[in-house]
Structure 1
Amino acid sequence: MSKTISKEQIKKFNQHFQSSQQLLNAQNAVMKNGILAASSNQQALIDNTPVFSIDLDTGKVANQKQSGRCWMFAALNTFRHTIQHDFNIKNFELSQNYTFFWDKFEKANYFYENIINTSNDDLNSRKVAFLLQTPQQDGGQWDMLVAIIQKYGIVPKSVMPESFNSSMSRELNTYLDKKLRKDAIILRDLVAENASESKIAETKEKMLSDIYQLLCLTLGTPPTEFDFSFRDKDDNFHAYENLTPQSFYDQFIGADLSEYVSIINAPTADKPYNEVYTVEMLGNVVGGKEVRHLNVDIKTFKDLAIAQLKAGEAVWYGCDVGQSSTRDSGIMATNAYNIDAVLDMDFQMSKAERLDYGESLMTHAMVLTGVNLVNEQPTKWKVENSWGDKVGTKGYFVMSDEWLDEYTYQIVVNKKYLPKELQEVVAKDNVTMLDPWDPMGALA
């Protein structure tokens, strides 16, 4: 039986608070400065200076501005590192707006298909409610960008530059979601009326035409053929004519994206290690690359990242960036703040508990571009962010190894770095399907 809070209890709580000089001192500091500033730990800055034994030269950071495209920026950054090196270009960027356009377009179709497939479910069923809560969003996963590139290719930023709506995507998302929800009503009604497949397909095609129109108005029209010229670091001029997005990718990047695999560290009881997982209703391109994760222990996880960095290749990775991190100084460390001491409370949970109880999941994607090894063991990691050069060290962050253990969930590596037994695991068709709302389905 529930009980109300009594006046006697409140009196007792107040007496406890007022009797503690430590709490009264903390009250003054927290009220004046806020929780984080009052508990900031200078030692974390000292422990995480931006110096690394392995440090890739990756150039100036990009800026996703007021959009949720970190996963896209991170992946395109790994590609531009290769272009900058192979073609001797300084501060080159690929078009994030181009991939943004096609991701939005494909997500609309993916939503329509999921709505049709769940049309016989009650409107208040968990799956339908899940779909309608966020019909689409800016976020994504590595495999989702691979699906876009495999279908649409890629272009330089100069060919399809940023628009107001790609850099500040809130308005676009508002009206795109409004449109998708209205279309969901129509599609569900058609199924309820036993409309023919051809009628539903015809209706959906008109809806997709509207989506394409909306995206062209807000983001611009994606190019199908273009010329590309640049001067390299030695001031030599280069010109390429009659390129397509696909031929540009083949000529300037050329990596076989099917060779890369998503590795996760999710130490929860429902996800045994050394098995592959996918997530129901997670994706963007219908019929495109499926999102798949190989779950491994944290040592294997870090060994794979280090192997790829040692080979000179950056690593896409996903984490919960808001946990124990300082935005301005760019430090991600478990001791960045002494919050438990200042508030006199215990906030500690295991990584598995945070996942199981909704306290943490992947919220942001960045790029690992360096690591500091002492006796071949990592102590801290260099991180290329996509928040511009005004945060961190010219846009680069430092992540302590302990923070990686606790709050990093995903990396992407070439499967050639996997031990033979794990290569055999990812080659199999045996994949465990997770619920749509599983934390490993979070979009960075």
Structure 2
Amino acid sequence: MEFFNNIEKIKYEGPKTDNIFAFHHYNPEEVVLGKPMKEHLKFAVAYWHTFNQDGSDPFGKATNIRNWNTKDLMETAKNKVDAAFEFFEKLGVEYFCFHDMDVAPFGNNLEEFFNNLDAITDYMKEKMDKTGIKLLWNTADRHSNPIYVNGAASSPNVDVYAISAAQVKKGIDISKKLGGKNFVFWGGREGYECFLNTDIKFEEENIARLYKMAVAYTKKINHKLTFLIEPKPKEPMAHQYDFDAATTLAFLQRYDLMEDFKLNIEANHAMLAGHTFEHELNIARNYNALGSIDANQGDSLLGWDTDEFPTNIYDTTLVMIEILKNGGLHDGGINFDAKVRRSSFEQEDLFLAHIAGMDTYARGLKAAARIIESGYLDNLKKDRYSSYENEVGKKLLNGETNLEDLTEYALSVKEVKNKSSHIEYVKSKLNDLIY
């Protein structure tokens, strides 16, 4: 069965086309900074939002029209695999991501769930072998099952902890079967609802124990993986332990996990933490820990995770500067962890939304390349910190000075002359380079 029979393969037609089912800016073979655009932009489709999300919200029932749903859960799961790979091929996306609960029904118990996962992922592998489409990353959904009401690896109940660990093991096994390069830990409920009854140190130590067991298991089965942690400050818990990039990196350093873990940074989560997306990417990059990104955007007027498709060129430009400065995302990619708006309920809107996101990132990539090639931002920063190129500054940076020497120098300074940052001009110049 063809699920998108009214959609042809999406092609690049340029910015002047009137065809809404065409790329206006994303040209996969166009060379930017020495590489085809498709190598810079390793796009992935998020299975959960694209094939599971139904358009419901806390104030209304489902609106989305989807032709793969049936009354039989396993039949529906198989239909979704067929629909997904048809979608990937027509969109021209080479990667996808999923949670275990996205692709197979849980059934009556953990054993039945694992059997369902085996059946569906075997079918996925057939599709992957046939199409060449690859798994960017998978993860274990350790938040939606009611048993995880008080967390998963942070749960006060050891039975829940064990089931959580079993899902992680199964997820790693599936990753090996499907040739995955990354495995994500998103602590959906790894945090606290009430500070008064929570032992934070105990819970964080238990989370670290699970992560170390996961690393040990990949070595045991000889499956090379990069583990990714996805920071989020709140929602659904009042406070989540992976609050932001800096907090997560502190955790990884404390528990000696930096060698095997990097970060999967999401735009909307950065906003909820009070940061910009580019800030979080830069912090991760500074620690050589930028692994992958979830490409979406939030609404600053709304205080929750709206997961909108990215359409802001200014934002994607700054993001792509960080990715290019990182030398790319290596084994990671750009996963559209985004859902169509509730009013975009037709099945074809899935294509329109992804086209919009891919075109926006393509424009961001080209603008970022122009900015990097111009040297404007690099020169701006070099000039701002130029005082450290004098004798005192060089000694400081080389670790060749002390408080006594700096005090002697400070007493010799007769007048401090700071430079204006010209912030307004800088932002205006950035607009010129982008647009």
TM (normalized to structure 2)? 0.25
Compare relative contact order (CA 8 Å, sep 6+) and give the higher one, 1 or 2: 1
Higher strand fraction (1 or 2): 1
